[in-house]
């Protein structure tokens, strides 16, 4: 029953009012955008399951193999800085182009300059993304420190609302924010609610992806930021209670599809999975369509997935110039494809050697050289039974909910007048 309510909530909130496009868009771009919207996100299943944006991981090559495995998972780009998009106008295909099969797909951008955010949105329109997301959660020193965006933006909800309004004014697709539950000592539930309330009240943002840890900007690494701050799923579920007109996707610490379904049964509108969808690619994504969306299993085997990916890989190998993408970049998304299977370690060693073999010039020849160490039983079997997740992940979350949020409207009035 809760699964149905999540679907209903998505359909009620996902269709955003159309806005006038920037005059900078060409007629050709306008045609592409109009066609995409008419055929657009409403034709896809809702984002009950999405793969998190991950720098240097969720590139177009990863998204290609992910889409072969799952037809319904929502895919995110790596975060792209608005400045990168603006300053690379002559080379945008390298950063923004993607095969049409990758829909539904969300572009995540980052930045702290409204002009560049507007221009980046305009430039991205021609590529037909299904949603544009603003990164307000990355804790890395390069982004949140020197870059002064990512998670640091949570300390400035007024700017975030302005940025979201600028994005929405320059696109006709839905917009969303990905954030943490707090930053450093600004980590109370009320402070999180203040951020959500101000951004949703002062901009068209109705969808928030909530990483259920706070960000620590005191110099610890992004990896430690995924490990040291405790998960507080109770904050996420309290947001569902206190903001019934908004849509929230839960993220952080959810490692398999069984745990995704546990979050959905508890009432989550959607679930975003990060490293498990990369490090354990097959055993995660191959269950999404059947176990999350209720579709019949595709019956694909690993060998069939690799056959399809080989066609893609050989078609794009070296097409950017300067030997990019190269073989290593195309094979990197498969690093977790044989996770925990016989032959996995030996295959990785064979792959490292094959990268150095000048006679291996195609993805086909790479697979011929390396897959001999993977047993046929691994390559030719459909996905195994759904792995069990932790049974206690959300066991007492309702008993831990913080007190209801009380809106502080006077602060929003001040922001609205400034």
What proportion of the chain, given as a percentage, has pLDDT over 70? 85
Q: Which has the higher per-residue pLDDT, 13 or 92?
A: 92
What phi and psi, each to the nearest 5 degrees, are found at residue 247? -115, 135
pLDDT digits (tens, 9 = 90+) for 130-181: 999 999 998 865 554 455 678 999 999 999 999 999 999 999 999 999 999 9
The reported pLDDT for the residue numbered 26 is: 32
State the average pLDDT over residues 255-267: 97
3-state secondary structure of 271: strand
Residue 131 tokens read as: 């949603």
State the average pLDDT over residues 373-401: 95
Q: How many CB atoms lie within 10 A of CB 79?
A: 25
| Residues forming a β-bridge with 208 | 177, 248
**Active-site residue, selected from the candidate residues 136, 138, 179, 193:** 138
- Looking up tokens 């010039």, which residue turns up? 361
Q: What is the pTM of this model?
A: 0.87
pLDDT digits (tens, 9 = 90+) for 262-309: 999 999 999 999 999 999 999 999 999 999 999 999 999 999 999 999
Query: Is there a contact between 301 and 380 (Cβ–Cβ < 8 Å)?
Result: yes
Active site residue 138: yes
Q: Are strands 247-251 and 80-81 parallel, antiparallel or unpaired?
A: unpaired
**What is the average pLDDT score of the chain?**
87
pLDDT digits (tens, 9 = 90+) for 43-69: 899 999 999 999 999 999 999 999 999
pLDDT digits (tens, 9 = 90+) for 181-214: 999 999 999 999 999 999 999 999 999 999 999 9
């Amino acid at each position: 029953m809760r699964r149905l309510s999540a679907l209903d909530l998505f359909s009620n909130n996902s269709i955003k009012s159309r806005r006038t496009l920037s005059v900078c868009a060409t007629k050709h771009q306008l045609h592409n955008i109009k066609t995409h919207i008419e055929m657009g996100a409403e034709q896809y299943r809702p984002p009950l399951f999405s793969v998190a944006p991950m720098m240097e991981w969720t590139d177009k090559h990863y998204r290609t193999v992910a889409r072969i495995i799952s037809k319904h998972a929502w895919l995110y780009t790596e975060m792209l800085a608005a400045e990168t998009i603006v300053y690379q106008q002559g080379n945008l295909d390298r950063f923004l182009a993607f095969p049409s099969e990758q829909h539904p797909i969300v572009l995540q951008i980052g930045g702290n300059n409204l002009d560049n955010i507007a221009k980046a949105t305009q430039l991205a329109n021609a590529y037909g993304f299904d949603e544009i997301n603003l990164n307000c959660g990355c804790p890395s020193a390069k982004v949140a420190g020197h870059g002064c965006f990512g998670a640091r933006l949570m300390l400035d909800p007024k700017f975030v609302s302005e940025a979201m309004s600028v994005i929405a004014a320059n696109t006709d697709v839905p917009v969303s924010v990905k954030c943490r539950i707090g930053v450093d000592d600004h980590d109370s539930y009320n402070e999180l609610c203040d951020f959500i309330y101000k951004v949703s009240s002062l901009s068209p943002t109705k969808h928030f992806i909530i990483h259920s840890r706070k960000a620590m900007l005191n110099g610890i690494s992004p990896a430690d930021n995924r490990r040291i701050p405790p998960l507080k799923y109770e904050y996420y579920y309290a947001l569902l209670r206190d903001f019934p007109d908004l849509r929230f996707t839960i993220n952080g610490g959810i490692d398999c599809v069984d745990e995704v379904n546990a979050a959905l049964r508890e009432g989550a509108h959607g679930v975003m999975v990060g490293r498990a969808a990369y490090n354990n690619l097959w055993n995660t994504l191959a269950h999404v369509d059947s176990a999350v969306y209720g579709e019949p299993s595709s019956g694909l085997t690993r060998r069939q997935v690799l056959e399809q990916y080989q066609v893609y890989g050989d078609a794009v190998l070296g097409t950017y110039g300067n030997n990019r993408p190269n073989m290593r970049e195309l094979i990197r998304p498969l690093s977790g494809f044989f996770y925990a299977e016989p032959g996995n370690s030996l295959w990785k060693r064979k792959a490292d050697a094959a990268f150095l073999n000048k006679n291996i010039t195609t993805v086909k020849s790479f697979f011929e050289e390396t897959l001999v160490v993977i047993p046929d039983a691994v390559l030719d079997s459909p996905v195994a039974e759904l792995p069990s997740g932790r049974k206690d992940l959300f066991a007492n979350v309702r008993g831990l909910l913080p007190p209801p949020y009380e809106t502080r409207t006077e602060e929003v009035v001040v922001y609205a007048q400034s």
